[in-house]
Amino acid sequence: MSEEVVIYTDGACKGNPGPGGWGALLVYKGVERELWGGEADTTNNRMELSAAIQSLASLTRSCRVKLVTDSEYVMRGMQEWLPNWKKRGWKTAARQPVKNADLWQQLDEQVNRHQVEWQWVRGHTGHPGNERADQLANRGVSELGSR
């Protein structure tokens, strides 16, 4: 594991719930790859999670990854909440089922394939990688009707 892959992810939703999209920009040794997709009826949080899952799943071998997100939900989930959810059988501290547990489990599976460092950036502040991921997420929404 030498070179690091930098991944910028974002999710978008028109209405919450509503039509949503996810986008990811992967950068490896100066080469860029764009990924995006969408769902007709979803939430912003599900799209943020999907962006991280799909981008990590697209890596064909174990990599060192810096995953840059503007989602505090994804960051805090991975860094703070996930270990306790797993200990409690995917229940919150209030013993309620964890929202989006299906996606959290998929993300956990993908993260375990790689060496992931998480980095949070404030959204919509002109951060180039984050802006590109946002454009891709919106593309995921706009292409829903054209499939």
CA atoms within 13 A on the CB side of 84: 13
Active-site residue (options: 10, 38, 114, 129): 10
Q: How far is CA 46 from CA 10, 12, 104, 128, in A?
A: 11, 9, 9, 23
Domain ranges of the chain: 5-145
pLDDT in tens, 66-101: 999 999 999 999 999 999 999 999 999 999 999 999
Catalytic annotation present for 102 = no
Contact in structure between 43 and 79 (CB atoms under 8 Å): no
- Clarify whether 48 is annotated catalytic: yes
Q: Which CATH number fits domain 5-145: 3.40.50.2300, 3.30.420.10, 3.90.180.10, 3.30.200.20?
A: 3.30.420.10
Residue type, 119: Q
113 pLDDT tier (thresholds 50, 70, 90): very high
41 is in an annotated binding site: no
**Residue 48 annotated as part of some ligand binding site:** yes
State the alpha helices, DSSP H only, in 18-127: 44-57, 72-76, 82-87, 101-111
Confidence of residue 21 (pLDDT cuts 50, 70, 90): very high
Is 131 catalytic? The answer is no
How far apart are the C-alpha atoms of 139 and 132, rounded to whole Å?
A: 10
- Spatial contact of 78 and 107, defined as CB atoms under 8 Å apart: yes
| pLDDT digit string, tens, across residues 29-47 | 999 999 999 999 999 999 9
Q: What is the pLDDT of residue 3?
A: 78
Q: Is the pTM value of this prediction over 0.85?
A: yes
